[in-house]
Structure 1
Amino acid sequence: MPKVLISDKMDPRAAQIFRERGVEVDEITGKTKDELIAMIGEYDGLAIRSSTKVTKEVLAAATNLKVVGRAGIGVDNVDIPSASAAGVVVMNTPFGNSITTAEHAIALMFALARQLPEADASTQAGKWEKNRFMGVELTSKTLGLIGAGNIGSIVADRARGLKMKVVAFDPFLTPERAIELGIEKVTLDELLARADFITLHTPLTDSTRNILSAEALAKTKRGVRIINCARGGLVDEVALKAAMDSGQVGGAALDVFVEEPAKASPLFGTPNFVSTPHLGASTTEAQVNVAIQVAEQMADFLMSGGVTNALNMPSLSAEEAPKLKPYMALAERLGSLVGQLEGEITAVSIETEGAAADLNQKPITGAVLAGLMRVYSDTVNMVNAPSLAKERGLDVREVRHDREGDYATQVQVTVTTPNGERAVAGTLFANSEPRLVDIFGVKIEADLAGTMLYVVNEDAPGFIGRLGGALGEAGINIGTFHLGRRAAGGEAVVLLSVDSTLSEEVLAQVQALPGVKVAKTLRF
């Protein structure tokens, strides 16, 4: 009988479900790291919330552990690379608290509009300052959504019920999906200029960190009110404080902070600032939902091998896994490549030919979408990527070709953008090594791994030397170097791997080299 440890406080229905499914379960909470290390070796599964830290040391001691289940969305407290190396599946419940988080955002919007916390404190102090608290109506105001996925779409629905006009910035939101939601898709600058209220519903990634920076806040409508129930770090807290002091921002409500627990913040004490201690998922219903979901998912995996909402493993049968594993690695890297290089994407086509066309296409498609959307979501995986793509109205097509091409097996990913279609293709060397063979019509043979520099330049004598010299002067060591071009003297592509991080300063120096059209850092 598999044995599971519930190490954080969780609704009792979780333990009940484990037992009903034939899984032995212990509920032991509040243990220190050392205590957890001492006891984890006897368990097949570990069910957690946010308190337990599943570190490399804990995983090293977990000699029987097969699955970690996070009752909630965020998995910052789990060392996923170490879990993968140890063969431990990591699951979460990405949709269990969507309604709760959306409702909290709406509640904070009301609190800002009517200055409810300050009015409450004043009234309970016996002041009765009726004329001090002049609020605004939500009706007919424009709400700007940064992120229109699962939670953002729920907020949009509630806001429309309040007779608000909703505009949204989301690179994966198609015009058709926007019409279905009854909202208007806009650019970020348009949203900043038009919104009376802005609410964020996007994960924290390299592309969204400080998306509301000092520069962005300066572009907003004067007196805008800002709500963040998503992730700390999406808003520059120092810049927000300055914008509130100047009156550029009329009010702000944060449920999440860069540093949590937030014992101190530059925003604390600022007039028209509302804060809550990360309460987005804190309702009875949400806690029950995520507890039930994580127990069901873990029990299914331990008893029958079923995989749902895994962050480091696709849905696969035991027979398919060995053949599909290298193809999924190739597919994910191709998706990641095009996702990092292209902005607004409305459709994606995954084409297979040769040996790849004879395989189960769903895991390959899931891997492409996971790589493609990881730029915008920190919880996307091969299992939930298709549903996330569907939420945003992304048109996904699978095409098998019964033909012989240049390679015995090939996967091609074509995306549709406002500038037309763009395609990348790859193959497997020795049936196991993923390799890029075509990027946007340029033939090039390259590994996709680690930190890489992508450069588009004019094919001219001396360029490679200048590029190598610029990186050398910056102390950047080149690992691999790959070249391709459309024609002699035409557009050329350079893909090279580096052994250290490329700073914005170094990237700017490369961009400034004569003949360079594009210079971008890629991470795989």
Structure 2
Amino acid sequence: MTEQVRVLIADKMDPRAAAIFRERGIQVDEKSGLSPEDLQAIVHDYDGIAVRSSAKISAAIMDAALPRLKVIGRAGIGVDTIDVPAASARGIVVMNTPFGNSITTAEHAIAMLFALAREIPQADQSTQAGKWEKNRFMGVELAGKTLGLIGCGNIGSIVADRAHGLKMKVVAYDPFLSPERAVELGVEKVELDELLPRADFITLHTPLTDQTRGILSREALAKTKKGVRIVNCARGGLIDEAALKEGLESGHIAGAALDVFAQEPAKENALFGTPGLICTPHLGASTNEAQVNVAIQVAEQMSDFLLLGGITNAVNVPSLSAEEAPRLKPYMALAEKLGRLLGQIAGTEIRSIDIEVEGAAAELNIKPISGAVLAGIMRSWSDTVNMVNAPFLAKERGIGVREIRTEREGDYHTLVAVTAGTDNGPRRVEGTLFGNSAARLVKIFGIPVEAELTGQMIYIVNNDQPGFIGALGTELGENGLNIATFNLGRRKEAGEAVALVAVDDPITREVAAQLRELPGVREVVPLSF
């Protein structure tokens, strides 16, 4: 007799999640607030674990749950409380619900705008203290003001729609926002340096990545309009908190409303007590409707996976059938690395993507391969992207995606090629499988070069001239960086050479800047795979 499928709900969650599991014939236990030790002691009895944001699922807990545990479901977006690499290494699927709380978060940002404009929290505190300081709290209207959106994806576009209802003018900075999508949303697409001095209010709706960390830096805040008001309901770390405090104290920044902080829980913060500051404890997703939505979604997704094998909104595996998985796995690894390479080099310039499979690869299901390419490209810009939602995110940002099959064989028995259409022309990378399993880059931007894309690397374009390799090696050595592999290619007619160098440690911005100063260097991009 087959053992009944069992799921543990390890955090407080809307009761409809448990009801869905039971309706589907899955035995469910609800045990929230367990210590890591208590959780570790019982997880071996479960096929799935559903969490929100309190229970932390570590590698040790996963080890205690093996071999039974198959899926971890997060009712929400962030998976920072789950050791995703450990789950991947152990064959455990990690799912999230990336769009279940978009409206709630957008509405919280709008509420913060009102609170800032009319100083509502301060006026409430004063009035309840027995004062009647009617002349002290002189607010401003939202109507007619310019709202600057930093990030105009799913949540940002909802904020833009609500702001239009308030008769605000909306300008948006988002590298992925196409002109067509901007027209559709009724926003003016601008660069960040144009947004900063124009906006009366600024609200952030971007994930926290290496590219967006500190996007409102000291320098950026200095460029803002005097009297600007700033809202952050996105991610802590997007704003330089020390510089924000100085701006509030000097009066250059009229007010700031923060729902997120660089360090959470933020029980202590240098910003607390600063005039003009409003704070909430990461409430962006905290409404009844949002919690119901994400609970229902995670229960349905986990049930489909445990009973039928369907994979939806997984952050560490693509959507595919069990029969396809063995053949597609190495191709998806190759595709993800090619996309990751393009995403890190071409980045926000990308406007379209062509994914071509040739030879043996043309016989396979191209959708998981495409999903892997898109996830790789956008992983540099989003902390919640996965192979399932990557196509949606590409469409939302106006990036056209085309899939091409070529059954004939070219120079290789099997080939995956990705061409990114950019503002500066097409950029194409090609890769193949050695021994039907080992992913290799074979051509980059028209230059033949064989390289394994792995770990920490540097992409360098330079003039093809004697002595460069020695100078590069010396510079890396002086910075304590050991070279693991060195891969070269060149375009003779242009006098251009390419180097892909694997090193043992990450390349810092300072080292990259030093490399750019070497004679003959045209481009330097640190890479991570």
Q: Same fold (TM over 0.5)?
A: yes
The structure 2 residue matched to 1:305, chosen from 302, 309, 327, is 309
CA distance in structure 2 between the aligned counterparts of 1:54 and 1:391, rounded to whole angstroms: 32
Does 2:358 align with 1:353? yes
Query: Equivalent residue for 1:161?
Result: 165
Letter of the 2:69 partner, please give it: L
Letter of the 2:470 partner, please give it: G
Structure 1 segment 375-524 matched on structure 2, within 5 A: 375-487=380-492, 490-524=495-529
Query: Equivalent residue for 1:223?
Result: 227
Letter of the 2:236 partner, please give it: G
CA distance in structure 2 between the aligned counterparts of 1:129 and 1:508, rounded to whole angstroms: 54
Query: Equivalent residue for 1:145?
Result: 149
Query: Equivalent residue for 1:266?
Result: 270
Letter of the 1:111 partner, please give it: A
Letter of the 1:107 partner, please give it: A
The answer to whether the 8 A contact 1:460-1:489 is kept is no
The structure 1 residue matched to 2:243, chosen from 236, 239, 242, is 239
Superposition deviation, residue 401 in structure 1: 2.0
CA distance in structure 1 between the aligned counterparts of 2:254 and 2:373, rounded to whole angstroms: 42
Letter of the 1:450 partner, please give it: G
Query: Equivalent residue for 1:331?
Result: 335
Structure 1 residues 285 and 361 mapped into 2: Cα distance closer, same or farther (>3 Å)?
Answer: same
CA distance in structure 1 between the aligned counterparts of 2:387 and 2:351, rounded to whole angstroms: 19
CA distance in structure 1 between the aligned counterparts of 2:7 and 2:494, rounded to whole angstroms: 63
Superposition deviation, residue 488 in structure 1: 6.5
1:454-484 C-alpha deviation (Å, 9 max, x unpaired): 1111111000000001111111001111111
CA distance in structure 1 between the aligned counterparts of 2:221 and 2:79, rounded to whole angstroms: 30
The answer to whether the 8 A contact 1:171-1:345 is kept is no
Structure 1 segment 82-101 matched on structure 2, within 5 A: 82-101=86-105
CA distance in structure 2 between the aligned counterparts of 1:7 and 1:402, rounded to whole angstroms: 49
1:10-43 C-alpha deviation (Å, 9 max, x unpaired): 0011000000001000001111011111111111
Letter of the 1:121 partner, please give it: Q
Does 2:214 align with 1:210? yes
Query: Equivalent residue for 2:282?
Result: 278
Mark the runs of 5 or more structure 1 residues left unpaired by the alignment. Answer: none
The structure 2 residue matched to 1:10, chosen from 13, 16, 29, is 13
CA distance in structure 2 between the aligned counterparts of 1:344 and 1:79, rounded to whole angstroms: 32
CA distance in structure 1 between the aligned counterparts of 2:418 and 2:190, rounded to whole angstroms: 26
Letter of the 2:11 partner, please give it: D
CA distance in structure 2 between the aligned counterparts of 1:420 and 1:300, rounded to whole angstroms: 43
The answer to whether the 8 A contact 1:212-1:234 is kept is yes
The answer to whether the 8 A contact 1:140-1:163 is kept is yes
Query: Equivalent residue for 2:344?
Result: 340
Q: Please state whether the residue corresponding to 1:10 is helix, strand or coil.
A: coil
CA distance in structure 1 between the aligned counterparts of 2:79 and 2:177, rounded to whole angstroms: 25
Superposition deviation, residue 123 in structure 1: 1.2
CA distance in structure 1 between the aligned counterparts of 2:420 and 2:459, rounded to whole angstroms: 18
Structure 1 segment 161-180 matched on structure 2, within 5 A: 161-180=165-184
CA distance in structure 1 between the aligned counterparts of 2:194 and 2:435, rounded to whole angstroms: 50
CA distance in structure 1 between the aligned counterparts of 2:260 and 2:190, rounded to whole angstroms: 25
1:384-411 C-alpha deviation (Å, 9 max, x unpaired): 1111111222111111124332211111
The answer to whether the 8 A contact 1:173-1:346 is kept is no
Q: Please state whether the residue corresponding to 1:167 is helix, strand or coil.
A: strand
Does 2:128 align with 1:124? yes
CA distance in structure 2 between the aligned counterparts of 1:160 and 1:345, rounded to whole angstroms: 29
Q: Please state whether the residue corresponding to 2:350 is helix, strand or coil.
A: coil
Identity of aligned residues (%): 70
Superposition deviation, residue 375 in structure 1: 0.9
The answer to whether the 8 A contact 2:109-2:231 is kept is yes
Letter of the 2:439 partner, please give it: P
1:286-328 C-alpha deviation (Å, 9 max, x unpaired): 1111111000000110011011000011111111111111111
Q: Please state whether the residue corresponding to 1:399 is helix, strand or coil.
A: strand
The answer to whether the 8 A contact 2:360-2:407 is kept is no
Superposition deviation, residue 344 in structure 1: 2.5
Q: Please state whether the residue corresponding to 1:231 is helix, strand or coil.
A: coil
CA distance in structure 1 between the aligned counterparts of 2:431 and 2:302, rounded to whole angstroms: 35
Q: Please state whether the residue corresponding to 2:349 is helix, strand or coil.
A: coil
CA distance in structure 2 between the aligned counterparts of 1:217 and 1:493, rounded to whole angstroms: 38
CA distance in structure 1 between the aligned counterparts of 2:169 and 2:352, rounded to whole angstroms: 27
Q: Please state whether the residue corresponding to 1:461 is helix, strand or coil.
A: coil
Mark the runs of 5 or more structure 2 residues left unpaired by the alignment. Answer: none
Superposition deviation, residue 247 in structure 1: 2.3
Count of aligned pairs? 524
Superposition deviation, residue 222 in structure 1: 1.7
CA distance in structure 2 between the aligned counterparts of 1:55 and 1:135, rounded to whole angstroms: 48
Letter of the 1:523 partner, please give it: S
The structure 2 residue matched to 1:42, chosen from 29, 34, 45, is 45
CA distance in structure 2 between the aligned counterparts of 1:519 and 1:165, rounded to whole angstroms: 39
CA distance in structure 2 between the aligned counterparts of 1:348 and 1:307, rounded to whole angstroms: 25
CA distance in structure 1 between the aligned counterparts of 2:103 and 2:257, rounded to whole angstroms: 18
Which stretch of the first structure deviates more once superposed, 363-372 or 247-256?
Answer: 247-256
Letter of the 1:126 partner, please give it: G
Letter of the 1:128 partner, please give it: W
Superposition deviation, residue 258 in structure 1: 0.8
CA distance in structure 2 between the aligned counterparts of 1:488 and 1:393, rounded to whole angstroms: 35
Superposition deviation, residue 489 in structure 1: 7.1
Q: Please state whether the residue corresponding to 1:346 is helix, strand or coil.
A: strand
The structure 2 residue matched to 1:66, chosen from 70, 81, 94, is 70
The answer to whether the 8 A contact 1:47-1:71 is kept is yes
The answer to whether the 8 A contact 2:75-2:295 is kept is yes
